[in-house]
A and B are shown apart, each in its own frame.
Chain A
């Protein structure tokens, strides 16, 4: 009997979620002993380092950590997506440079001094706001996820798509979003009776537009000016974007230019012909707004092969458009048995939550899965369950359980269970 047998939490070597906490002290002591034995300097310790710089950059050794894969419609370079490299990240904050992109006709080069946000339609006073004006308004800031509702659509393919975690699930990111509650601006404009929706337009070449119910707007929508402490980057809507916590990314209109208050949805191209879900019976669902409860193991995952048998950390992200993540369960035996993962300290509403489990891999083939549950009791469904009523070509709003297969040689691949 080894000293970890008593800590088994589920089949095929999955250990108790507190395993790493208990193991931590001994590991630290070993390191200290090793480094105290001699004094040495590596090459970079023998010369002064480089100068201070006005803006930081990643290590040249991390040059592979980029938004990939990137795809754009035929004949275009800015009508498509770039994906967050989830498999290389830890924690819950997505570095702004790695936040996924979904653009409809490129990133506009907006002069902030010329840009205005106009609120009009069913309001007492149509109003125009400059960026400088909005920057003087009381600001709220929250750490929340943003997910394209086309994320993970590759899981609808009949055979498992072989690619990185990012290639399948990389259209989700999380940031600290700061900005002005849109409710405050609408109060200033004076919403008229009968108003139920607004139509948000972007200042991009596609004049991207979505209709948004007013009750969501009054609940928690912001006109975001800041992302992770700095002004929005152009690829995320500089100088201002709509941000709707927990709702599909397409609605969070970037480069926000106009808001027209109306009594009905505009039935724009994106909300009817694109981000709707065709069912097998030929009926389509419109307006599926909150993103479903979901999780994915980011490590190990395809491209991050396992080494020799031994103890590994299984780590990933979970999120829900309905609120906080309550728990994440892990299986290392293809779903026969499950054990609860540890959640990092930061568990916030409509935000990514980092989960971790310890796994003593015996070197044999294994299938690992994660299953998230949110605070209102929604449980992440199986792929089979998601597919039940859907047309085979419907790929939006997919939140099924992801399975990764670990082969004997440690290679990790996408698999359906």
Chain B
């Protein structure tokens, strides 16, 4: 029995004292690989879950103008909604500006979040190439990558965000 299973069983015994896996009616249905792929949005910092495709800031600038600029402003600043660029070096001061470039620790989060939630009035309309391109653009306007750097499933996890080392975990998992 694995260590994890032991932990799991101990947890179940504590849980409410009345419900355990032994009571489970076992009603879960199996899924095909295609069905799983169709519902899986999760992207990990190591790149797991990133789809095929790619793009650069040069093409991403067009995607941004058409889908993002109205809310987030020219080059990610001055819009009514979240400021997306600038603020580097401001975090320890009196007026920290948290943007993708100044604050976000992982580049994969940019792709992941835009794919999930943006543009807010029509989420899901961007193709994988457009998602990679606009991700490249957001990294470019934050001076994290160059204008012609290709962003794809291989390169994105390797992009080092400027604020990456300034996070500590407030949670320690039981071993």
Give chain A interface residues in 119-159, CB to chain B under 8 Å.
Answer: 119-121, 125-130, 133-134, 136-140, 142
Set of chain A residues within 8 Å of B166, measured between Cβ atoms: 282-284
* Chain A residues near B (Cβ < 8 Å): 73-76, 79, 104-105, 118-121, 125-130, 133-134, 136-140, 142, 181, 183-189, 191, 193-196, 199, 201, 205-209, 213-215, 218-220, 257-258, 260, 262, 264, 266-269, 272-273, 276-278, 280-289, 391-393
Set of chain B residues within 8 Å of A119, measured between Cβ atoms: 28
Give chain B interface residues in 16-74, CB to chain A under 8 Å.
Answer: 16, 18-21, 23-31, 35-36, 39-46, 48, 71
Least CB distance from A153 to B in Å reads 14
B159 close to A (CB within 8 Å): no
Q: Is the Cβ of B19 less than 8 Å from the Cβ of A262?
A: no
Q: Which of B15, B81, B92, B94 has the most CB atoms of chain A within a 10 A radius of its CB?
A: B15
Contact of A283 among B26, B35, B40, B167 (CB under 8 A): B167
Number of interface residues of B (CB under 8 A): 65
- Nearest residue, chain B, Cβ from A289: B171
Q: Is the Cβ of A73 less than 8 Å from the Cβ of B45?
A: no
Q: Is the Cβ of A283 less than 8 Å from the Cβ of B31?
A: no
Set of chain A residues within 8 Å of B132, measured between Cβ atoms: none
B103 close to A (CB within 8 Å): yes
Contact of A262 among B21, B28, B44, B174 (CB under 8 A): B44
- Nearest residue, chain A, Cβ from B115: A207
Q: Is the Cβ of A184 less than 8 Å from the Cβ of B30?
A: no
A87 to B98, CA, bound (A): 34
Q: Is the Cβ of B105 less than 8 Å from the Cβ of A184?
A: no
B127 close to A (CB within 8 Å): no
Contact of A284 among B7, B40, B168, B174 (CB under 8 A): B168
A117 to B67, CA, bound (A): 31
Q: Is the Cβ of B81 less than 8 Å from the Cβ of A74?
A: yes
Q: Is the Cβ of B41 less than 8 Å from the Cβ of A209?
A: yes
Contact of B120 among A79, A184, A193, A284 (CB under 8 A): A79
Q: Is the Cβ of A209 less than 8 Å from the Cβ of B44?
A: no
Least CB distance from A98 to B in Å reads 27
Contact of B8 among A118, A126, A187, A194 (CB under 8 A): A187
28 inter-chain pairs at a CB distance below 8 angstroms, sorted by A residue, are: A105-B120, A120-B31, A127-B31, A128-B35, A133-B28, A133-B29, A138-B18, A138-B19, A181-B16, A183-B8, A184-B20, A186-B8, A205-B117, A206-B120, A208-B116, A209-B41, A218-B12, A262-B42, A266-B112, A267-B45, A268-B112, A269-B109, A272-B106, A278-B98, A282-B92, A283-B167, A286-B170, A392-B95
Least CB distance from A76 to B in Å reads 6
Known: A140-B19, A213-B171. 6 other contacts (CB 8 A): A120-B36, A127-B30, A137-B27, A191-B5, A193-B2, A272-B104
A74 to B79, CA, bound (A): 10
Annotate B75-114 by CB proximity to A: 1 below 8 A, 0 otherwise.
0000011000000000110111010100111101100110
Q: Identify the 7 closest CB pairs spanning chains A and B, nearest first.
A: A127-B28, A218-B11, A282-B92, A187-B21, A74-B80, A207-B116, A287-B171
Known pairs A193-B4, A268-B113, A273-B104; A187 contacts B80 (CB<8 A): no
Set of chain B residues within 8 Å of A391, measured between Cβ atoms: 91-92, 96
Q: Is the Cβ of B117 less than 8 Å from the Cβ of A189?
A: no
- Nearest residue, chain A, Cβ from B99: A273
Contact of A75 among B3, B71, B173 (CB under 8 A): B71
